[in-house]
Structure 1
Amino acid sequence: MKVAKSIVASLLAIVFAKAADPAKDSGHGDENGPIVISINSIQLPELLTPETFNETLAQGINFVEFFSPYCYHCKQLEPIWKETYHRFLEESALSGISMRQVDCAANGDFCGKHSIRSYPTLRLYGPNEDNTSYKLITTYPSGGKRTPQNFLKFLRSQYDDLKNDRFNLPVKGEVLTEEKMLKLMNGDIEEPVLVSFWPTTDKETTLKYFEDVHSNPISFKNCYSCFNLAVLWSRITNRLPDLNTAVFNCGGTNSRVCQALNLPFNVNRAQVSPEIYMFLPNSQGGIRVKYNHDLIISDIVDWSERLLANAQAEEVTLDSLTTKMTSLDPRKGLDFLKGPDPNQKQVFIYYYEEGSDTPEDFEIWPHLLQPIMDLTTNTYIYRSRDSQLEDLLDKKYKKLIDYINTPESEPERPLNRETYLARTITSVPTFLVFKDNSMIPTVYQNFSPKEIRDVKKIVNFVEQNQFPLVDRLTIDNYESYFPKFNPEIHDKDEKLVVSFFSSDNKTQTINDYNQLLFIQHSYDYIRHQNRFDLIEEARADKTDKSEKLKGEGIDPKEIIKVLSKKIDHLNNIGNVLTVYVDLDDDQKFLEKTGWISARTKFKPGESIIVSRFGKHYWDRDVFGHKLMTTAQSLRETLSYLLFPSTYVPPENKTTVRPSPRVAGSPYPDALAFLDIIHQYGLFGYLLITASLIGVYTVIKGHRRRSRKAKFLSHKSNKEGFQDAYIELSKHD
């Protein structure tokens, strides 16, 4: 019973206490990971005060945090701010951008004059024209993720504008009247127009007001998000010199137009943000496409340029497509010198034959733009009737076979024409997919006019195939890789390979990246061979059933039902995506995923396999060793996990069933069996605690009853003996 009480007490302690992370911010590396500088040892510059603010900001570009030491979010930001400062220190000297802070608890009136409405507020300031004072350049986006990676991206983009003197440019474009806005809505324009909509007044929605916002920190009262976008708008419009831009005021007499556009500006403007739309002319569908990402200059510019390209429905040939992609020519294979490429393209080509298409087929184009532009990947769509593209798929597949058979240590994988045809056969028109750094053939398989006009089905296909072959996982694209489960396009067993890189070791990074490309290509071959075998098995099973029914003299209608039963082509089975994370840059992000902690460390060259739609991950391979970024370790483990019934281990290799871990588990390997409780969170601990208490109560009750029964038995025996003794005495 003491043991039971001890277990219950321990579990109750786990329920109500969070497991401590003893190495948090320790800054001490070990054999399991890179050495990390202690956050607490980083010394920040002296805080700015009302007396030093003007003088300091007049001398250069400064990224300033307005904070309060009592603010929860400020305390959360402190280690991130320190890490960013430390990592940007060298670049700071080269770029002339400094990082400073203002304590608003000690300088409340000063922060109030600068219209600081919440903490922390992050702003970028620069000197005025004669270096006697300062002006506001921009603010860090309120919806922007506060991570060292995002802060560094923000600061580097500011430096790029600083070099090109984009800070002092006037706003380009015009303020639209209601009449002009109605023309845009009807598509009655010659060229696309990028429009920002504002929940503002007529006085605030002028180009002059936008330009003066840099020197007027109380602009756009009660609309902080308006202020944030206004300081960016001149730079956005000037970065898009060939695109018409405009602003539109949704307040006052224009409110009816904005209501017709379903803009949510009919509430308190402190609760809404400006919105950005691209309006396309009737020649490009006459639609509007909404910008649904963070208000970051580079992101808005990239989105606009990509939308302009996609809206044109450009006709391409093999030669012109080769110039748009970095590794399309199958004769060259893959470029093993580059390493990770952050700008990889995924191209979807609407492929048709002259005379086989109809006007209805092209009507889908405008409907694809919004869902494609909502993606976080670098995705483009074109049109083509160049038959060489069809031949290119075939050539790339042959190159793939050569590629995966190159290492002498690899088992031979023959070219299987049946498998290739099973994954590429289709009617035309259709969509062909080409990706940088990929030789994998991907085709939208459709066999009727209805399927090529099914917008939902095509969008699902694009979402499935939007990802680069090997991509960097960041906090920005995390939700794309771990979306809400959709049974129409996902399989519940889909996996994600996560490999650990170190940007400090460029040679190993390039080698591991190339290894991941090889693994993805060779696993894709295995996956589609298994898929083909399963389909053939289903067909054979259907034939056997029909023959059996014929032999039994069953009604022919029933036999036809069996033969006409649709075979699932298992398009989603065995899906695997591959990403990498940088242990030097992404430490904080990794800790939030629960894959890495003080108890679970990884080194460059190691990997894990993660369930896309569950909490589990695997860090041991099918041979019982740590999962490494090698073909045998990763590919064999993937094949075992996703095709266990057909898996054949390598010759002379002993395999074991890899055991999954639960993300965020506080338990070391020796106590991994407790993950089964931890995966259900507080509910799991409460349930096991209640169960143990119940067992303890039952055992304790049983012991009480047992003791009572013994007592009663003893008492009964004693009373019986006394009665017998009395009876015998009578006879004496």
Structure 2
Amino acid sequence: MKLLKLLGALYSIIGITRSSSVGGDDDGEYEPRAPLGEKEFRQELQSGLHLVEFYSPHCPHCLEFAPTWHETWRKFRKEGERLNISFVQVNCIKDGDLCNEEGISMYPAIKLYGPQGFIKNYPSDYERTEEDLITFARQETLDSINMEMIDPDISSKFLDAHSFNELLAGRGKVPYFVSFWPSNDYEDPLAESKTYDFCPACQSFQKVWSQVTKRFLIHGVDTGHINCEALPDLCHEIGFDMLVNGAKKEGNYPRVALVLPGNGVNNLFIYENGFSSSVWPYEDFVARAISNSKAPEISMEQILELVRQDFQFPENMDHPIPSQALHVVLSYNPDNVVSEDFHVLEHLVNHLAKIPNAYLHRSKDDVSTAAKLSLDYMYEKINYNRSEPVKLPKTEYLELNLFPQSPTFYIFKEGDWVPHLYVGDSTTETRNVEALAKWFNESALPVISKVTSHNFDRLLNFQPSEYDAVVIQLVDLTDAGSIKTSNDQMKDFLTAAYDYEDVRMQNVVNVRAEKRVDKNTRVKALKAVKASSDKIGKVYHEEIKLEDKNKIVLGYVDISKGLHILEDLGFHKGRNDYKSGDVLVVDSRSSAFVEDDVFGNRLTTGSVYSLRETLVKLILPELSSFHENLKSHELSFNYSRGLDIFGPMRTHRVWRYFLVVGVLVLIIKTLSFYKSFKAKKNYNAKRNAIGILGQPSKRSKD
């Protein structure tokens, strides 16, 4: 659903361009078709889709709407022929019986028809404009049920080197999605006679590409395909070496790339997420790349709406899990922004295309205020315990993180109450593409991840300098009732996580303040002993970096199909009666996990306070008021990274002992070397003396 909304928004970006380009310059020679009589109306409906306007020539609203209908028909006529949908009219004064049969009570009425008759009314939330009429027509041909009825004649274009290079030069009229194929000949890879005995994935992708072609044309995107055996130089240049002589390589599959029209710079985007037999990943990739290439404006209100979309499992099990999209926002001041500040955006599209659900925006609103209001929302949620002092945003943390110079980048995640700021020493660092791309990857985790045996290792090792634990809630998504219960538990789970985040923020501020005090103390001590200005200056100018660490990764495991999934994740030594609402905390530093709280009770979402205090005790024990150690169990997860001989050393801090031993050995070796050197020097000095066995010195020779 979210993707359809995004694609709908893209129509406004590329739709009118496509319509005008498809219509051609000769459309002015054509007049709209004459209104259909009853017999023509029935015949017309036997094939294709038809958007029908029922009107009266005496109706003022109809007369006012007539130029819009005419212009829409003119622009969309040729594209409509390809999509097998037409715009037609019925004069209800001339054919009143037909309009009466169709239930027309007011004019103008716009309805959609197909071979089986009436389908739906033109939506009331759509404007009667050229743009919305064309968008509605495209969306209806996109509908799988309608598509089965109309079977539009759409095909991918077999591209030669010249055609593709023209696209790369930015001379295309619309976005082009291109597939690149391995082959054992120079023929069209999609020819009906083409077989792929050497490439099973290619056989599967032939059907996928046919669906892609139909759906993408409706989105205003053309498709083409290239034979890499026939055009090896082109495929080498793009980086698809594996497709040249591809028939001789096992495990091969077609690659795809998107080419955008424009200035021919940074307009090629390669899909790098592997092979899929589903249309959706490619559709998402193209939709986001097109949207991100425009970096549309986003308002402060829209940002706040995003972050306040609290994560919830859909109670209808047929609906997808929330995407938890990541939104990168360039915040700028229109009064002092320069063109170079925007040039970086086109270089970021390719990096964001590799991150699922990542979107790029720009905003002239006060984004720092949106960030503060987002945190205010967090504090509304975590002030649940009236027996505790009221928790307030940490002013110094806000100043360090949320109030930069303009322009700069923020990241807001759907459902994440804590905003993320790109911290740089100067505004020019907002143009450092590689640094920004690194920051995107470091911030790529959603608020809460589904934990599986495929991603558990990555979650445990995610940014180890900043993240110390993976906190997992068990959920049961069997039916609507259990999903509702899991959602209620999820609210408490997230509240406890952000409650811990408040403690962590305060600790970050305190640690930095302690370092500042230590620095000032050392400066005073140096001044007291009248140290040189160089020594004092060196200490005085030491940078106290913000150590934003001790964070947690949040995840969930669905146990509706049994507890064996927990065994697959390595929780063999835990209890055998886990249930929805239980929480497991895995210490990423030691790979041990905790399943009981600081009171020795079962760790669950039932007590937000207990869960918060357990996290504090495990990750920031120096801040905990609980003295008893938490009982932990060894995690026996089969890590995918292979043999790690240094793992036990890191786990038990054995490396510290090796470091001490190494330093001692180095000192002993240095002393031994010095003694040997001294002895040798003395020996040589004796040999240089005059004697029976000695050699005459230079002085004696003289």
Question: Which TM-score band (shorter chain)?
Answer: 0.5 to 0.7
In 2 relative to 1, CA 597–490 (structure 1 residues): closer, same or farther, beyond 3 Å?
Answer: closer
1:499-526 CA-partner distances (Å, limit 9, x unpaired): 1011131232011111122122212211
Give the corresponding residue for 1:657: 629
1:29-77 CA-partner distances (Å, limit 9, x unpaired): xxxxxxxxxxxxxxxxxxxxxxxxxxxxxxxxxxxxxxxxxxxxxxxxx
Question: 2:637, 2:372 → 1: CA distance?
Answer: 46
Give the corresponding residue for 1:500: 474
Contact 1:427 1:447 (8 Å CA) reproduced: no
Q: CA deviation at 1:397?
A: 2.3
In 2 relative to 1, CA 167–410 (structure 1 residues): closer, same or farther, beyond 3 Å?
Answer: farther
Give the corresponding residue for 2:22: none
| From 238, 252, 256, the counterpart of 1:276 | 256
Listed as ranges, the matches of 1:550-561 within 5 Å are: 550-561=527-538
Give the corresponding residue for 1:707: none
Q: CA deviation at 1:236?
A: 1.8
Counterpart secondary structure, 2:621: coil
Contact 1:665 1:678 (8 Å CA) reproduced: no
Question: 2:629, 2:264 → 1: CA distance?
Answer: 55
Greater shift in the superposed pair: 627-636 or 612-621: 612-621
Tell whether 2:586 aligns with 1:610: yes
In 2 relative to 1, CA 188–477 (structure 1 residues): closer, same or farther, beyond 3 Å?
Answer: farther
Q: CA deviation at 1:290?
A: 1.7
In 2 relative to 1, CA 599–393 (structure 1 residues): closer, same or farther, beyond 3 Å?
Answer: closer
The alignment's C-alpha RMSD in Å is 3.4
Listed as ranges, the matches of 1:80-99 within 5 Å are: none
Listed as ranges, the matches of 1:505-584 within 5 Å are: 505-571=482-548, 573-584=549-560
In 2 relative to 1, CA 447–582 (structure 1 residues): closer, same or farther, beyond 3 Å?
Answer: same
Tell whether 2:339 aligns with 1:359: yes
| From 291, 296, 313, the counterpart of 1:309 | 291
Contact 2:181 2:189 (8 Å CA) reproduced: no
Which runs of no fewer than 5 residues in structure 2 stay unpaired? Answer: 1-142, 639-644, 653-702
| From 237, 253, 273, the counterpart of 1:260 | 237
Q: CA deviation at 1:614?
A: 5.6
Listed as ranges, the matches of 1:281-300 within 5 Å are: 281-283=261-263, 285-293=265-273, 294-295=275-276, 296-300=278-282
Listed as ranges, the matches of 1:327-726 within 5 Å are: 327=308, 341-376=321-356, 378-387=357-366, 389-474=367-452, 478=456, 481-482=459-460, 490-491=464-465, 494-504=468-478, 505-571=482-548, 573-585=549-561, 587=563, 589-596=565-572, 600-612=576-588, 615-629=591-605, 630-645=607-622, 647-649=623-625, 654-664=626-636
Counterpart secondary structure, 1:249: strand
* Residue type at the aligned position of 1:524: E
Contact 1:574 1:642 (8 Å CA) reproduced: yes
Question: 1:274, 1:337 → 2: CA distance?
Answer: 35
In 2 relative to 1, CA 640–384 (structure 1 residues): closer, same or farther, beyond 3 Å?
Answer: same
In 2 relative to 1, CA 204–162 (structure 1 residues): closer, same or farther, beyond 3 Å?
Answer: farther
1:571-628 CA-partner distances (Å, limit 9, x unpaired): 2x11112111110147554433212589755211111112446633222333333322
- Give aligned-pair identity as a percent: 22
* Residue type at the aligned position of 1:532: V
Contact 2:189 2:227 (8 Å CA) reproduced: no
Question: 2:214, 2:388 → 1: CA distance?
Answer: 54
In 2 relative to 1, CA 197–678 (structure 1 residues): closer, same or farther, beyond 3 Å?
Answer: closer
In 2 relative to 1, CA 614–189 (structure 1 residues): closer, same or farther, beyond 3 Å?
Answer: farther
In 2 relative to 1, CA 679–482 (structure 1 residues): closer, same or farther, beyond 3 Å?
Answer: closer
Give the corresponding residue for 2:689: none
Greater shift in the superposed pair: 335-344 or 654-663: 335-344
* Residue type at the aligned position of 1:658: L
Question: 1:608, 1:164 → 2: CA distance?
Answer: 47
1:197-242 CA-partner distances (Å, limit 9, x unpaired): 0012566535442xx78xxxxx212111211211211112222222
Question: 1:410, 1:615 → 2: CA distance?
Answer: 33
Contact 1:616 1:662 (8 Å CA) reproduced: yes
Listed as ranges, the matches of 1:62-81 within 5 Å are: none
Question: 2:493, 2:583 → 1: CA distance?
Answer: 10
* Residue type at the aligned position of 1:371: H
* Residue type at the aligned position of 2:617: Y
Q: TM-score, normalised by structure 1?
A: 0.61
Q: CA deviation at 1:401?
A: 2.1
In 2 relative to 1, CA 506–406 (structure 1 residues): closer, same or farther, beyond 3 Å?
Answer: same
In 2 relative to 1, CA 479–258 (structure 1 residues): closer, same or farther, beyond 3 Å?
Answer: farther
Tell whether 2:197 aligns with 1:221: yes
Question: 1:587, 1:188 → 2: CA distance?
Answer: 56
Greater shift in the superposed pair: 290-299 or 544-553: 290-299
Q: CA deviation at 1:297?
A: 1.9
Q: TM-score, normalised by structure 2?
A: 0.63
Counterpart secondary structure, 2:604: coil
Q: CA deviation at 1:642?
A: 2.0
* Residue type at the aligned position of 1:624: G
Give the corresponding residue for 1:38: none
Tell whether 2:214 aligns with 1:238: yes
In 2 relative to 1, CA 492–615 (structure 1 residues): closer, same or farther, beyond 3 Å?
Answer: farther
Q: CA deviation at 1:482?
A: 4.4
Give the corresponding residue for 1:189: 172
* Residue type at the aligned position of 2:159: L
Query: How many residues get paired?
Result: 489
1:367-407 CA-partner distances (Å, limit 9, x unpaired): 3223322223x2211011112x3322222222322321134
Counterpart secondary structure, 1:466: coil
In 2 relative to 1, CA 397–251 (structure 1 residues): closer, same or farther, beyond 3 Å?
Answer: closer
In 2 relative to 1, CA 286–575 (structure 1 residues): closer, same or farther, beyond 3 Å?
Answer: same
In 2 relative to 1, CA 449–318 (structure 1 residues): closer, same or farther, beyond 3 Å?
Answer: closer
